[in-house]
Amino acid sequence: MTAAVIILTLLALIFGLALGYAAIRFRIEGNPVADEIEAILPQTQCAQCGYPGCRPYAEAIAAEEAEINRCPPGGEAGIKQLAELLGKDIIPLDADVGIEKALPEVAIIHEDVCIGCTKCIQACPVDAILGAAKQMHTVIATECTGCELCIPPCPVDCIDMIPTKIDITNWHWGKPIPITTISEIADTRGEEVA
Amino acid sequence: MAQRPTDNIGKYLHNFPGGLKLRHHKALSCCKPLPARYLPLSTEYCIPVSQHLGQPAEVVVSVGQQVKKGQALSTPGKTGNAPGAFVHAPTSGEITAIEKRPVPHPSGLNSLCIVLQPDGKDRWVELEPVDDYRKLDCDELIQRVQAAGIVGLGGAVFPTDIKLQGTSCLINTLILNGVECEPYISCDETLMKQAPGKIIEGALILCHVFKIEKVIIAIEDPMDVCNLELEQSISEFNAGDCVEVIRVPMLYPEGGERQLIQVLSGHEVPAGQLPISLGILVQNVATVAAIRDAVIDGIPLIERLVTVTGAGIREPQNVHARIGTPIADLVDFCGGYTAGIARLVMGGPLMGLGLRNDQLPIIKASNCVLALTHADITSTQPEMPCINCGNCVSVCPAGLLPQTLQTVIRAENFEALESLNLDACIECGCCDYVCPSHIPLVDYFRYGKGEQRAQAKEKQESDIARLRFERREQRLEKQQAERLARHQRRKRALAGSSSKKDSVAAAIARAKARKQVLAANQPDTNSETGKGENS
Ligand code: SF4
Ligand code: SF4
Ligand code: SF4
């Protein structure tokens, strides 16, 4: 009886020490969960979620301070991925934060209206606007994330969002629409006969 | 020396998994007449600028300009690393427009085209033939191939110069792909019969430049006449010791690069790698003939053999058509449509692309124009649920699990596709063909691949955005810190000067105090005298 107690106590001690050592030795720097969450977030940096960027929102989710449905650019697909990662339920996008755009957009500055005030440059989270004081400004379309943060500061309202164009270089096949009902079949047959 | 995968290549034939035995329908078009006829000049040519993957090319001509036959119209774009290819004027004439027009592309979107109105004189630009290809080195050859705008003519239209660039000296075997496994198409067979010399000479050029030891020309079993023609030509060029013709059994899709390598060598090209990893280069026979023309005669790729066939065409045959010719002109040349025409396809019946009308131009990828009648096509069937019969698995030449892929794509679980190897799918359509539930499997796979690619691109873009955001944050922080430091310095400086003021004040106060003390010590005399003075 005593022997068993001693052995078990010893074992508990050894494992405890081993675990304690491992916790120090193999400690991971930073917040790995937040990193993984951030990898899923679209990095638009639009702050629509209510946090000043994707990283702070990721940290808030990791700390369970925020729901996973506050990122409109990430949309449904993003929520699905987050839910999978965190083992949560898929919930619809929070309508208060915004809606998911059908097509990605980029900003464009109407250059003849721009007065060169540099306000938009200061607002852009990814340095996608090029310009200098009293000079015409322009958006580097490939760097723009479409966050719309440059629109409110513009005193002459010369910034617009335009959806990215689909051409044969970026087009891809859509999801097949299955033909299932009899009338649909009749339709396609009609087309073929005509 | 260790055994190389290419050592016994062609000695025994092997199998690839799956595949279908299809009726080949080639007699319809092949070799009536031989050599194939040239199409007369059309009234207008419409040459799409991007006939290949990647970035659109840069147009180097302008509207109203007179161009000569073979003059470059656009160059591969300078931007990025995406592959591109030159396109050239198919005849001499005037550029009448550079605008977006319908092109043969599954999206149905318009794309930038150069429109050329022939002047009927068909004058060539100054060509630069090479008198002796043995003097060419690797780079010169690649540069010539690029300038001639040569792309893979088997259907993939990958720029040949880029394929060769990756090749350098790592290969020891060249396989010429004459296995035209898709039904109806017979342009490669026609080429092998009418100009075997060009193919052999092209192969010798590649052999010389890339120090290739062995060339295998793979043809299908039923092409026996080809065999004779090729053998004869090989002996004419005294190339018998390195060039060999091998007949492979007829099985679709044996003409796929990986499938052909597997049949000839018994080795599978590892997933995610290129045939180079086995020391093999595969080129379509027509591509090699085009390389020969570009090197020996300096002629760029401005025309190709096109099979115009199917029960919907009156006189099916192969024709030499210039790039940019409207498909309608080819059909007219072949006697027009028959009464029962139901569908027009560019390419073969399994991998081809359905066309909306015949006003689209022939492009470098157009190996076949196929007109099918109602009797040829089964009417659309409703899509039923997968019954897990496994038919698709047993025919897939890439060894994939189409039914699993299909379920995963339907559920939009694109991350799982990587482990299921969707990339290896060659979109051959075998699975589609045998599926008893009429599931459009290839459509799902194309959708899945597109989504996969789009997501990879998004990921890349978001990584860039994150980096830029972080850099900006760092910069702002640094600026903030600098500002703070500056402030503090100034404050300290101010504080310093204020303490000076304090000391001044203190000194004044001290002086005052002293005065007061003095005044207190001699109050009477001072005050009295003062008073006396004042009064
Ligand atoms: S340019 Fe405007 S919309 Fe684009 S990333 Fe910058 S602030 Fe956002
Ligand atoms: S289309 Fe793709 S999945 Fe289907 S049989 Fe061909 S290679 Fe296999
Ligand atoms: S052939 Fe069709 S029904 Fe059969 S397992 Fe494949 S997808 Fe399912």
Judge contact between A108 and A123, C-beta under 8 A: no
Question: For chain A, what is the mean pLDDT?
Answer: 85
Does the C-beta of B420 come closer than 6 Å to ligand 2?
A: no
Residue nearest to atom 2 of ligand 2 (CA): B425
ipTM above 0.90, yes or no: no
Residues 6+ apart with CB under 8 A from B310: B28, B184, B316, B345, B370, B371, B372, B373, B376
Given a cut of 60, is residue A78 above it in pLDDT?
A: yes
Distance B438 CA to ligand 3 centre (A): 8
Residues 6+ apart with CB under 8 A from B319: B36, B37, B38, B39, B305, B306, B308, B330, B333, B334
Fold designation for A32-86: 3-methyladenine DNA Glycosylase II; Chain A, domain 3 (1.10.15)
φ and ψ at B95, to 5 degrees? -80, 115
Q: b/e string for A149-165 if b means 16 or more Cβ within 10 A?
A: bbeeebeeebbebeeee
CB contact under 8 A, A172 and B450: yes
Please tell me if residue A187 touches chain B, with a CB cutoff of 8 Å. no
The confidence score (pLDDT) of residue A131 equals 87
Nearest ligand to the C-alpha of residue B465?
1
User: Residue B293 gets which letter from DSSP?
Assistant: I
Please name the amino acid found at residue A94.
Answer: D
Judge contact between B284 and B461, C-beta under 8 A: no
Residues 6+ apart with CB under 8 A from B195: B35, B289
> pLDDT, tens digit, for every residue of A143-189?
898 888 999 999 999 999 988 888 777 888 888 887 766 666 666 55
CB contact under 8 A, B443 and A176: yes
* Distance of alpha carbon B451 from the chain centroid: 17
Please tell me if residue B50 touches chain A, with a CB cutoff of 8 Å. yes
Atom of ligand 2 nearest to the CA of B429: 1
Q: Which helix (H) or strand (E) holds B358?
A: none
Please name the amino acid found at residue A122.
Answer: Q
Q: How far is A139 from chain B (nearest CA, A)?
A: 14
**Distance between CA atoms of B68 and B80, rounded to whole angstroms?**
30
Residue nearest to atom 4 of ligand 2 (CA): B431
Closest alpha carbon within chain A to B453? A172
Q: b/e string for B214-238 if b means 16 or more Cβ within 10 A?
A: bbbbbbbeebeebbebbbebbeeee
Q: Is the dihedral of CA A26, A28, A33, A39 positive or negative?
A: negative
Residue nearest to atom 2 of ligand 3 (CA): B435
Domain boundaries, chain A: 1-26, 32-86
Tens of each residue's pLDDT in chain B, 535 residues = 466 777 777 778 888 888 888 888 887 887 777 788 899 999 999 999 887 665 667 888 999 999 999 998 988 766 545 567 888 999 999 999 999 999 888 888 888 899 999 998 888 888 888 878 888 888 888 888 888 888 888 877 788 888 887 766 678 889 999 888 888 998 898 899 888 889 999 999 988 888 888 899 999 887 777 788 888 888 888 877 888 888 888 888 888 889 999 999 888 888 888 888 888 889 999 999 999 999 888 899 999 999 999 999 999 999 999 999 999 999 999 999 988 888 899 998 888 888 988 899 999 989 999 999 888 887 677 888 899 999 999 999 998 999 999 999 988 888 888 888 898 899 999 998 999 998 999 999 999 999 998 888 888 888 898 898 889 989 999 999 999 999 999 988 887 766 666 666 777 777 787 777 776 666 544 444 444 444 3
Residue nearest to atom 5 of ligand 2 (CA): B396
Q: How far is B268 from chain A (nearest CA, A)?
A: 29
Closest alpha carbon within chain B to A182? B382
Which single residue is written with the structure tokens 């499938």? B259
Name the band, by pLDDT with cuts 50, 70 and 90, for residue A19: very high
**Distance between CA atoms of B117 and B44, rounded to whole angstroms?**
5
Q: Which helix (H) or strand (E) holds A127?
A: none
- Which residues are registered as beta bridge partners of A139? A129
| CATH code assigned to B27-346 | 3.40.50.11540
Domain boundaries, chain B: 27-346, 381-469
Pocket of ligand 1 (CB under 6 A): A 107, 123-124, 126, 128-129, 139, 144-150
Q: Is the dihedral of CA A22, A26, A29, A35 positive or negative?
A: negative
The confidence score (pLDDT) of residue B474 equals 92
| Residue B493, phi-psi category: left (phi > 0), alpha (psi -120 to 50), beta (remainder) | alpha
φ and ψ at A144, to 5 degrees? -70, 130
Around Cβ A50, how many Cβ atoms within 10 Å? 13
Which single residue is written with the structure tokens 């003849």? A112
User: Residue B135 gets which letter from DSSP?
Assistant: G
What angle is formed at CA B528 by the lines to CA B524 and CA B529, rounded to 5 degrees?
Answer: 120
**Distance between CA atoms of A178 and B384, rounded to whole angstroms?**
9
Closest CA to A119 of A158, A160, A154: A154
Among B20, B430, B434, which is best to mutate for testing ligand 2, by the most ligand atoms less than 8 A from CB? B430
CB-CB: which of B106, B446, B472 is closest to A126? B472
Q: Per-residue DSSP letters for A74-94? A: THHHHHHHHHHHHT----PPP
Closest CA to B27 of B161, B190, B145, B147: B190
Q: How far is A5 from chain B (nearest CA, A)?
A: 50
Q: What is the pTM of this model?
A: 0.81
